[in-house]
C-alpha cells in the first residue's frame, strides 16, 4: 500500500471532516502513512477568510492524534499553500514558523480568480484560460520557491466549460515544459493527484503524459495524493497509480519527512 500525501480535514475551509475520522479511515485502508495538507490561501478573492488556517489549533490537534495513533500509522504534518506572487512573504513567514514535514505549493487563484468559479473563464476561450493558468505557474515560481512539490499542475481543467474534452498535453507542451523544467531546476517535485479521477476526468492531475514528460526531463520527486476532503476519498483510485508511474519510468515515489524527500520503491 502507498502513502497518501494530500488530504484535508475540518481545519481547511472546504472540509468538515474531523481529523480523527480521516486517520481511522486511513488505518482501515491499511495505508502505511498519510500527510495532512490543510489549505492556506491568503488573499482569496471575494471571501478573504475562506481559506485562512488556524495554525496553532491545527498543530496542537495534529500532535495529539499523531501520538494517539503512533503504533498504527505514520502521520505527517503538511500544508497546501495557495501561491500568488504578491503573498510570497506571508507564505514564507508561515512556513518558517511551523515544523512542517511537507509543503505543497498550489495555484488556486490566478490573477484574482479561482478557476473553480466560472468567472475565471469569462471573456476568454477555454484554451486561453488554460494557457493563462500554466503561465501563472511560472510567475509563482519566479516569486516563491519554499515548497516541496507543486500541486495538481493542471487543476484548471477540472473546471473549464468542457473540462478535459479538448485538452491534452501536446496543445500546451511549450508552456507546460517550461513549468516542469523550472520546477526540476529548483530541485522541487510534483504530485500525482487522483482528484482528477474523482472529478470524472478519467485522468489524474496532471495527466499521465505530463507525468511522463516530467520524468523525461529529469524529474525524480513525485508524491501521491488523493486530495480527499472526506474519509471515503482517502487513497481514491490509488490502485491505478503504480502502473501509471512505472509506465512513465519511475521506480520510486516520494514521501517527505521534515521537508526532506524519501524514496519508496514502487
For residues 21 to 60, the per-residue mask of contacts with Zn ion, x marking binding by CB under 5 A and - elsewhere, is ----------------------------------------
Rounded to an integer, what distance in angstroms lies between the CA atom of residue 117 and that of residue 55? 27
Residue 9 touches Zn ion, criterion: CB under 5 A: no
Least CB distance from residue 216 to Zn ion, whole Å?
Answer: 25
Q: Select the residue interacting with Zn ion from 38, 227, 238, 245 (CB under 5 A).
A: 227
Least CB distance from residue 99 to Zn ion, whole Å?
Answer: 20
Taking CB under 5 A as the binding criterion, the range among 68-76, 157-165, 227-235, 236-244 that sits at the site for Zn ion is: 227-235
Residue 89 makes CB contacts below 8 A (sequence gap 6+) with: none
Q: Which neighbouring-strand residues pair with 264? A: 253
Footprint (CB under 5 A) of Zn ion, residues 147-206: 151
Footprint (CB under 5 A) of Zn ion, residues 95-114: 106
Least CB distance from residue 6 to Zn ion, whole Å?
Answer: 6
Nearer to Zn ion, 212 or 229 (CB): 229
For residues 72 to 91, the per-residue mask of contacts with Zn ion, x marking binding by CB under 5 A and - elsewhere, is --------x-----------
Least CB distance from residue 175 to Zn ion, whole Å?
Answer: 20
The C-alpha angle with vertex 177 and arms to 205 and 135, in degrees rounded to 5, equals 75
Rounded to an integer, what distance in angstroms lies between the CA atom of residue 59 and that of residue 214? 33
Residues that bind Zn ion (CB under 5 A): 80, 106, 151, 227
Amino acid at each position: 500500500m502507498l502513502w497518501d500525501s494530500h488530504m484535508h480535514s475540518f481545519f481547511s475551509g472546504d472540509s468538515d471532516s474531523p481529523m480523527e475520522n480521516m486517520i481511522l479511515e486511513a488505518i482501515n485502508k491499511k495505508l502505511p502513512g498519510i500527510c495532512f495538507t490543510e489549505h492556506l490561501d491568503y488573499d482569496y478573492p471575494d471571501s478573504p477568510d475562506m481559506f485562512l488556517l488556524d495554525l496553532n489549533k491545527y498543530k496542537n490537534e495534529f500532535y495529539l492524534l499523531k501520538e494517539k495513533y503512533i503504533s498504527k500509522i505514520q502521520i505527517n504534518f503538511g500544508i497546501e499553500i495557495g501561491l500568488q506572487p504578491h503573498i510570497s512573504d506571508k507564505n514564507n513567514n508561515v512556513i518558517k514558523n511551523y515544523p512542517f514535514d511537507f509543503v505543497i505549493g498550489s495555484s488556486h487563484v490566478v490573477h484574482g480568480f479561482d478557476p473553480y468559479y466560472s468567472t475565471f473563464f469569462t471573456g476568454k476561450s477555454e484554451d486561453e484560460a488554460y494557457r493563462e493558468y500554466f503561465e501563472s505557474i511560472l510567475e509563482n515560481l519566479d516569486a516563491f520557491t519554499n515548497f516541496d512539490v507543486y500541486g495538481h499542475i493542471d487543476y484548471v481543467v477540472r473546471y473549464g466549460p468542457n473540462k478535459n474534452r479538448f485538452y491534452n498535453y501536446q496543445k500546451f507542451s511549450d508552456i507546460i515544459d517550461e513549468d516542469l523544467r523550472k520546477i526540476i531546476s529548483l530541485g522541487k517535485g510534483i504530485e500525482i493527484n487522483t482528484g482528477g479521477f474523482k472529478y470524472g476526468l478519467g485522468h489524474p492531475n496532471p495527466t499521465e503524459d505530463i507525468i511522463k514528460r516530467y520524468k523525461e526531463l529529469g524529474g525524480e520527486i513525485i508524491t501521491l495524493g488523493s486530495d480527499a476532503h472526506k474519509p471515503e476519498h482517502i487513497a481514491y483510485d490509488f490502485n491505478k497509480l503504480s502502473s501509471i508511474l512505472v509506465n512513465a519510468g519511475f521506480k520510486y515515489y516520494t514521501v517527505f519527512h521534515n521537508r526532506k524527500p524519501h524514496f519508496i520503491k514502487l
